[in-house]
């Protein structure tokens, strides 16, 4: 084989790789658009009237995740099954965003932490690496850390909306989440940096709870929460 023939073959391989990346990019753009639609929908819970419509917003978000599952099925066909991590960077960000959105919906519905397996099911992908296109553990954890920041914001807006019991429940949830992350030996620099931001979310929520205490609203909130249960 001549040098020109060798490089022609290499160009062919590069061309195929570029075609794969372009196909992936198109699907990822569609996923990003769906994620934006879900986020816009859920952002309504931060407004006063939004608290009254949480179940309806969660139901609509679940419907959007049906579109996500269809788009994920398309994404799976765009690259060789054994080359997940070769192309992982293309969908890593949007996947983390979708994890956050799924976790936020589950929290709003039940005030519990969604499992990685449950998120994978919501997104229509696998939890186990051996089974193909899957939810990487670090992507799951990154999405959960974004949830913590969103809940810190929700705690503040809850007070504005006159819901004084929600910040107390969010505080308990975030503290439990923080305790869970402390059990992990995080090696990933990006994930470690994001985890370092969790302490600011904890502090922000503690300030909200402290303010409620100073104003004597925490007792009212405790009574209200007890009545709800």
Q: Which residues are annotated as a binding site for Mg(2+)?
A: 150
* Whole-number Å distance between alpha carbons of 95 and 139: 7
CA-CA distances (angstroms) from residue 25 to 20, 28, 34, 153? 9, 5, 14, 32
Look-up: residue for tokens 């929700």?
A: 154
Can you say how many angstroms the Cα of residue 67 is from the centroid of all Cα atoms in its chain? 16
Q: How far apart are CA 54 and CA 107, in angstroms?
A: 11
**CB-based burial of residue 67 (10 Å sphere; 0-12 exposed, 13-18 middle, 19+ buried)?**
middle
Known binding-site positions: 150
Cβ-contact 36, 30 below 8 angstroms: no
Say how far apart CA 170 and CA 209 lie, in whole Å.
Answer: 10
Q: Where are the alpha helices (DSSP H) in the chain?
A: 3-42, 54-76, 84-110, 116-123, 137-160, 166-182, 189-196, 198-214, 217-228
CA–CA separation, 169 vs 164, rounded Å? 10
């Amino acid at each position: 084989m001549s040098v020109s023939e060798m490089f022609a073959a290499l160009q062919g391989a590069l061309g195929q790789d570029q075609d794969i990346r372009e196909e992936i990019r198109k699907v990822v753009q569609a996923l990003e658009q769906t994620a934006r639609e879900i986020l816009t929908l859920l952002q309504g819970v931060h407004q006063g009237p939004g608290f009254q419509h949480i179940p309806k917003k969660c139901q609509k978000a679940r419907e959007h995740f049906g579109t996500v599952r269809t788009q994920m099925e398309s994404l799976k066909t765009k690259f060789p099954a054994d080359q997940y991590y070769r192309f992982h960077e293309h969908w890593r960000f949007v996947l983390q965003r979708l994890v956050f959105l799924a976790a936020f919906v589950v929290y709003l519905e039940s005030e519990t932490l969604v499992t990685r397996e449950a998120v994978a099911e919501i997104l229509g992908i696998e939890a186990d690496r051996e089974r193909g296109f899957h939810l990487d553990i670090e992507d799951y954890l990154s999405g959960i850390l974004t949830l913590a920041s969103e809940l810190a914001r929700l705690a503040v807006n809850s007070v504005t909306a006159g819901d004084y019991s929600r910040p107390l429940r969010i505080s308990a949830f975030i503290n439990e989440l923080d305790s869970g992350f402390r059990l992990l030996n995080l090696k990933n620099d990006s994930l470690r940096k994001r985890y370092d931001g969790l302490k600011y979310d904890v502090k922000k929520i503690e300030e909200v709870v402290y303010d409620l205490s100073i104003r004597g609203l925490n007792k009212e909130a405790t009574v209200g929460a007890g009545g709800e249960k």
